Structure 1
Amino acid sequence: MTLNITQTYKIGHDTFIHSFSPTQNFGVAFEDDMTTGFFYAINKSEQPEVLDGLHIYNVADITEKTLPTELQIGWSEDGWIAFLIINKHYHAIFDFGLRAGYCRDGFPENTGDWALVNERKLTEEVMAKYLVPDPTR
């Protein structure tokens, strides 16, 4: 995995951070709209569109909102898989080849046309499938 973005922000502050695949025609974006944090899969075309979205957190549920938060977005070497890492913990994965998105709480349920995977919870088994390395190494 190659880290494309490393940025510090504060939870509950209006934040938008995006990254595009180094080899493919899509990208991802993280947004904190001061109420929730979401991670989006984006089709990078002449008419960009959001393909899928994954819930990352509710601002009201975070106890340490005043502390700086480190956000990282990484891509697999082939550019088909994006990883969202917050404070050195994996929070979401988009696999564009399989049209799958995973996050810690599995929310929202898959109701869109893009994602082909119904189980969206980011579990240890899913992480092992992607051989996610420790981002501190």
Structure 2
Amino acid sequence: MKLLNNEKFYVGQEIFIESCPDFVDNAVVFEDNRETGYFYAIERMKSGKLKILDAVNIYDVNKVKDKEILSEIKIFWSDNFERAALFINDYCHAIMDFKNKLGLCRTEFPHSSQTWQNGRKKLTDKDVEKFFNN
């Protein structure tokens, strides 16, 4: 496992965090647009443009009770850069699996994109354990 990003932020503060290893086409982005927090699976096209492959909801800002507390984001990648995991305050909220075209999140929302697996699988602690043991 490789920790590529480690940043502090406040929920509801506009933020855009890219995690893009230079030597692969896969990338992930965490975005808080002041209303919601989302985690995106991205493909970097040869043209330089970014293509969203899938997106998962992490939170709705108005439902987060401790917005005034400084939070910490960590983005981990598997050694082969086929999977990325989003942690906020040391709790895994989502995993993007590029090999299996699967986005996992605790909220099971929204439905998967048409290019990735249909249906949304809920992220479990067992999935997180598997992520770190493979």
* TM-score under structure 2 length normalisation: 0.91
Corresponding position of 2:117: 116
RMSD (CA atoms): 1.7
What does 1:34-53 align with in structure 2 at a 5 Å threshold?
34-45=34-45, 46=47, 47-53=49-55
Rounded Cα–Cα distance in structure 1 between residues aligned with 2:9 and 2:126: 30
Residue 17 (1) aligns with residue 17 (2): yes
- Identity across the alignment (%): 33
- Going from structure 1 to structure 2, the CA distance change for 1:17 and 1:6 (only over 3 Å counts) comes to same
Alpha-carbon deviation of 1:129? Answer: 3.3
Unaligned runs of 5+ in 2: none
Corresponding position of 1:55: 57
8 Å CA contact 1:109–1:120 kept in 2: the answer is no
Residues 36-72 of structure 1 show CA distances to partners (whole Å, capped at 9, x for unaligned) of 0000011111221111100000000111111110001
Aligned residues: 132
Counterpart pick for 1:97 among 99, 106, 121: 99
- Going from structure 1 to structure 2, the CA distance change for 1:104 and 1:26 (only over 3 Å counts) comes to same
* TM-score under structure 1 length normalisation: 0.89
8 Å CA contact 2:13–2:33 kept in 1: the answer is yes
More displaced, 123-132 or 51-60?
Answer: 123-132
